[in-house]
C-alpha cells in the first residue's frame, strides 16, 4: 500500500558472500532502522565500509537485502511506481560516454515518462541549474569529473522527483563545484523535495541536513535532529599550551577529546571541568597557555565520539 512516508527501513540486514565457494561473508548491514519524513534533508554519515552505499543500493533496488524491509512511499523498491518518484545520483556515476550531456538528461526524462515541449523545457532548465549550458552539446567522454557529477545531478532531478537520493554528491568537486551542488540541494529542499544523502564531508551535512544517522559497521550508532544531537552535549574547551609536551600534559590524567603536538605548542580539546584543572596544572608545571576558548560541539565531534564508542564494542562489517 502506498504511503506519504518517503523512506521506511526496518531491521535491514545485508550479508555479501565472497570467494569461489561463496563461503566468506561480509555483514554490510546489521538490523538498520530508518525513517525519513516528507520534506526532510536526511544525512547518512559513516566511515568507509559503514554500509551507507549498501543502504542506498537496496533502496534503489540495485542490491537485495538479506533480511528486513525497505519501503519507498510505502512500496517495495522493486515497484516501478515507487522508483518513478525518486531521483538518484550514484556514487561515481558512469553515464553513457557517447551521449552529450543534453541527450543524457533527455533520456532520463523520457525514462521517467516525460516527452515533447515539457521535456525540452525542463532539460534546458535543469542544465541551467547545474550551470552546464556551455557543455551541454559536448559528448560526456570529454567531461571532467566535476562536470560528470553535475550532469548526473541534472538527470537525477529532471523528473521533479519527490525523493532525491544522493550518494556522495560533492565527491571529487572543487570548492566552487561543491558550493554549486550544495545550493542545488538547498533549492530542491526549498521545493519540498525529500533528500537522503550520504557523504564523508561533515560540513556538508551540517550545512544541509536537519536530521542525521551515523552508521558504523552496518549499525546505527546515532540518530536524531542535528540540533538535538548537538545541544545535549557538554561544552568543550580548546586550548593551546606552550613549553610542555603532549606526553607531559597527558600525565595530568584528563581525558582529551583531541590533542596534537606541533613541537613548539600543543593544541587540545577537553571538557569544561577538565579544562579548569588542566589550566592550573599546566601553569604550575611551567607551561604557558596562549589560547583558551569554549568551542561549539560540532557534528564532527559527534561523529568521532560515535566512532570511538562503537569501536570499543563489537561492530559489524566483520568477515566471518
Ligand atoms: N558487492 C560487494 N561484495 C562484497 N562486499 C561488499 C560489496 N559491496 C560492499 N561490500 C562490503 O560491505 C561493507 C559496506 O560497504 P558499503 O559500500 O555499503 O559502505 P560505505 O559506508 O558506502 O563505504 P564507503 O564510504 O567506503 O563508500 C564493506 O565492508 C564493503 O567492503
23-33: per-residue pLDDT in tens? 788 899 999 99
Cβ-based neighbour number of residue 9 at 10 Å = 22
CB of 189 shorter than 6 A to ligand 1? no
**Domains of the chain listed by start with CATH number:** 7-230 (3.40.50.300), 234-296 (3.30.70.980)
- Counting atoms of ligand 1 from 1, which one is nearest the CA of 56? 18
Q: What's the pTM value of the predicted model, to 2 decimals?
A: 0.82
* Rounded Cα gap, residues 185 and 105, in angstroms: 18
Residue-wise pLDDT tens digits, 182-238: 888 898 999 999 999 998 888 888 888 989 999 988 999 889 988 888 776 777 889
18 lines ligand 1 (CB under 6 A): yes
The reply to whether ligand 1 has any atom less than 6 angstroms from the CB of 50 is yes
pLDDT score recorded for residue 228: 84
User: Nearest Cα to 143, choosing from 110, 111, 104?
Assistant: 104
Who's near 236: CB < 8 A, 6+ residues apart?
257, 269, 270, 271, 272, 294, 295, 296, 297, 301
Local structure of 223: helix, strand or coil = strand
Does the C-beta of 52 come closer than 6 Å to ligand 1?
A: yes
Within 10 angstroms of residue 280's Cβ, the number of other Cβ atoms is 11
Is the C-beta atom of 26 inside 6 A of ligand 1?
Answer: yes
For residue 112, pLDDT over 70 is answered with yes
280 Cα: distance to centroid of ligand 1 (angstroms): 47
Atom 16 of ligand 1, nearest CA residue: 51
238-251 pLDDT, tens digit per residue, is: 999 999 999 999 99
Q: Is the CB of 16 under 6 A from ligand 1?
A: yes
Amino acid at each position: 500500500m502506498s504511503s506519504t512516508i518517503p523512506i521506511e527501513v526496518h531491521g535491514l540486514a545485508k550479508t555479501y558472500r565472497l570467494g569461489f565457494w561463496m563461503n566468506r561473508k561480509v555483514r554490510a548491514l546489521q538490523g538498520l532502522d530508518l525513517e525519513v519524513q516528507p520534506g526532510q534533508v536526511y544525512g547518512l554519515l559513516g566511515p568507509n565500509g559503514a554500509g551507507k552505499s549498501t543502504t542506498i543500493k537496496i533502496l534503489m533496488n540495485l542490491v537485495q537485502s538479506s533480511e528486513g524491509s525497505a519501503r519507498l512511499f510505502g512500496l517495495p523498491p522493486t515497484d516501478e511506481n515507487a522508483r518513478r518518484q525518486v531521483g538518484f545520483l550514484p556514487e561515481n556515476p558512469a553515464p553513457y560516454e557517447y551521449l552529450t550531456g543534453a541527450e543524457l538528461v533527455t533520456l532520463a526524462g523520457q525514462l521517467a515518462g516525460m516527452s515533447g515541449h515539457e521535456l525540452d523545457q525542463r532539460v534546458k532548465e535543469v542544465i541551467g541549474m547545474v550551470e552546464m549550458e556551455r557543455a551541454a552539446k559536448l559528448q560526456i567522454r570529454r567531461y571532467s569529473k566535476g562536470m560528470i557529477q553535475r550532469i548526473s545531478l541534472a538527470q537525477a532531478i529532471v523528473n521533479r522527483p519527490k525523493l532525491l537520493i544522493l550518494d556522495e554528491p560533492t565527491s571529487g568537486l572543487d570548492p566552487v563545484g561543491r558550493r554549486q551542488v550544495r545550493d542545488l540541494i538547498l533549492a530542491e529542499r526549498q521545493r519540498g523535495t525529500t533528500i537522503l544523502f550520504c557523504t564523508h564531508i561533515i560540513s556538508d551535512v551540517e550545512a544541509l541536513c536537519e536530521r542525521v544517522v551515523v552508521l558504523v559497521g552496518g549499525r546505527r550508532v546515532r540518530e536524531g535532529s542535528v540540533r538535538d544531537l548537538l545541544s545535549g552535549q557538554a561544552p568543550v574547551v580548546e586550548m593551546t599550551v606552550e613549553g610542555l609536551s603532549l606526553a607531559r600534559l597527558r600525565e595530568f590524567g584528563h581525558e582529551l577529546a583531541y590533542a596534537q603536538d606541533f613541537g613548539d605548542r600543543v593544541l587540545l580539546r577537553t571538557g569544561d571541568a577538565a579544562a579548569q584543572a588542566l589550566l592550573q596544572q599546566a601553569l604550575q608545571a611551567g607551561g604557558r597557555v596562549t589560547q583558551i576558548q569554549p568551542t561549539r560541539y560540532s557534528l564532527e565531534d559527534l561523529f568521532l565520539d560515535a566512532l570511538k564508542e562503537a569501536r570499543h564494542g563489537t561492530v559489524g562489517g566483520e568477515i566471518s
